[in-house]
Structure 1
């Protein structure tokens, strides 16, 4: 079942693997299950908490771009199809709901990013405020990752159910 999902929906399978990897590395970065030897190189470059703090928002931003592109392509396909929007949404209600939530959180993430960057450029922030802003962006990034993970799991569920 999983192999057929990868073959039929490679983008969703890739998103799933990327999300699991990002969340796993992010959690591992903060919990530090592997001790770090600071005698090698610069401690800032191998600090796993720092990498998780920077990596999650950046990878989530890439995922937001993919989700928005997916949403636009799906909307164009829906508008050019013979089925009505209502019949399409009600035929797969769980999937439609998951896709709407994922797209909404992605668009909210873009809006919060624009507001955050606007705050940074409008005035100089003290360091604690900048860290707070980065933590806020990390929380938005985790929200994007989790909603995309849920949508991918819903899509996997419908794929497995359809195969039976």
Structure 2
């Protein structure tokens, strides 16, 4: 039963060995372990601070980017409105110019048609007058060659003429 109940000498040597191991661990193991734990804790805190700072910077950059995007969209909309207005104005100007040019061309065509019509009428009148003169000349030659026919022609013209 010696194994279950330790003797006083055994307990004494166990306590002495425990204290020696405890002093050795305190001087050689705990100080480096605690210093490395403190160093790691400070590096983690620094990393957390840097992460928070980076997060704040990212939020500021994101807000700046949103503002730039909003400004760019507004600028794009303004440019599109101006371009639409300019294109509408150019289309209206082109329509007005085309209408004016069309009206001018129609007026010129009407004037040319009227001139050609007058020239054609003058030519028809000249041709009709020439034909009338030719016909009258032929009739008069035929009629005037015969003396009784001349007298009869003069009499018929005199009957047709009514004197007031």
Task: Identify whether the pair has TM-score above 0.5, normalized to the shorter chain.
Answer: no
If you compute each CA radius of gyration, which structure gives the higher value, 1 or 2? 2
- In proportion to residue count, which structure has more helix? 2
What range describes the TM-score normalised by the shorter chain of this pair? under 0.3
- Tell me the TM-score normalized by structure 1: 0.23
- Tell me the TM-score normalized by structure 2: 0.23
